[in-house]
Amino acid sequence: MAKPVVFVLDPYHEDAVALLQSTEWVDLVLPSDPRRASWHRDADGVILRSETRLTADDFAAAAKLRIVVKQGVGVDNIDLDAARRAGVAVHNTPALNSEAVAEFSLALAFSLARRVAEVDRRVRAGEAVRRSETLGLSLFRKTVGVVGMGNIGRVAARKWIGACEASVVGYDPVAPADAWSDLPHRRVATLPELLEVSDVVTLHVPLLPSTRGMIGAKELAAMKDNAILVNAARGGVVDEKALLEELKKGRLWGAVLDAMEVEPPTLEAYGDGLLAMDNVIMTPHIGASTRENQSNSGIAVVKTLLAVLEGKADVPGKLV
């Protein structure tokens, strides 16, 4: 019997690749292999990250494809309806990125509040920085509004409480009523209620029709003076044009974005806009990019793929 052919379409951690290479009953095709171009014809299974998009045309052309596994939670780069029509199972790795992304969302907020990136740029440019004229913003015992009460939001809330004794306000229209029953927090029924009381607004929602542009001009205007906006979720959740206009008014402390409409962020897209603002930090969607997390989540992807190819039931992370 021919071995199932597994294509790795995007770069994966060496530990995940080593696990695949040690699995003798699969035929492995890595991104550097010239055979990669033939994945539509030959693939029984595919693993990918955010770099590769799978469209309806891809699924229509994938003659043998049985399983796609995406590292991470978000699957907006995969046409799930097309996968369903083609009879292809799609899995992700929920919860595994939570610690890393939550940790990074706090790091971004602290960096902006204490003006770390701004001051570093000024020092590197040879500027004499006067401490008395470079005051930061303390986040100790402030109110943190967490939008999205899923796995990442939960971990972020816990970290804010532990690090800053923060008062946490949660908002999520679809989370169950008993969500976060183990965490001290106040849950609000509407987004405006959260925005008007939060010193930090941190976003942890997927990109859906209901969340696209959920932070627009109206919502930004409702935020407190000197508030910080953190988007470590998905580009498109924040209306970037509206954010730039609000930041130009000088009322907000600033914004930190690890997710944006153009990824990775470029000077062409943002050089005259958000990247020209001292109170903006932009990073190229690296919230989950720790050595530990990439190893753990990459191995989880491979184990999921192999389990499906072996015909096991109740494999975690199934979306389609």
Residue range 132-145: mean pLDDT, rounded: 97
* Residue appearing with tokens 């603002």: 277
**What does the mean pLDDT of the chain come to?**
95
As a whole number, mean pLDDT of residues 200-214 equals 95
Active-site residue 35, yes or no? no
Q: What pLDDT is recorded for position 96? A: 86
Would you state the torsion angle of the CA atoms of residues 63, 69, 74, 79, taken in this order, to the nearest 10 degrees?
10
Q: What is the pLDDT of residues 44-53, one digit of tens each?
A: 999 999 889 9
- Quickly list DSSP for 91-132: E--TTTTHHHHHHHHHHHHHHHHTTHHHHHHHHHTT----GG
Q: What pLDDT score does 315 carry?
A: 84
What's the distance, CA 253 to chain centroid?
23
- Spatial separation of the C-alpha atoms in residues 224 and 44, rounded to whole Å: 52
**Cα distance between the two ends of the chain:** 27
CA angle 184, 185, 187 (to 5 degrees): 145
Q: In this predicted structure, what is the pLDDT of residue 262?
A: 95
Domains, the chain, ranges and CATH?
A: 5-96+292-309 (3.40.50.720), 98-282 (3.40.50.720)
49 is catalytic: no
| Interval 261-271: pLDDT, tens | 999 999 999 99
Catalytic residue among 13, 154, 185, 234: 234
Residue 34: DSSP 8-state: G
Choose the catalytic residue: 263, 268, 291, 310.
263
Annotation marks residue 263 as catalytic: yes
The side-by-side arrangement of strands in the sheet containing 45-48 is 27-29, 5-8, 45-48, 67-70, 89-91
Question: At residue 216, what is the residue type?
Answer: G
Strand partners, 146: 170, 202
- Confidence (pTM): 0.85
Active-site pick, 285, 291, 292, 310: 285
Measured from the Cβ of residue 207, the count of other Cβ atoms closer than 10 Å reads 17
Residue with tokens 């699995």: 23
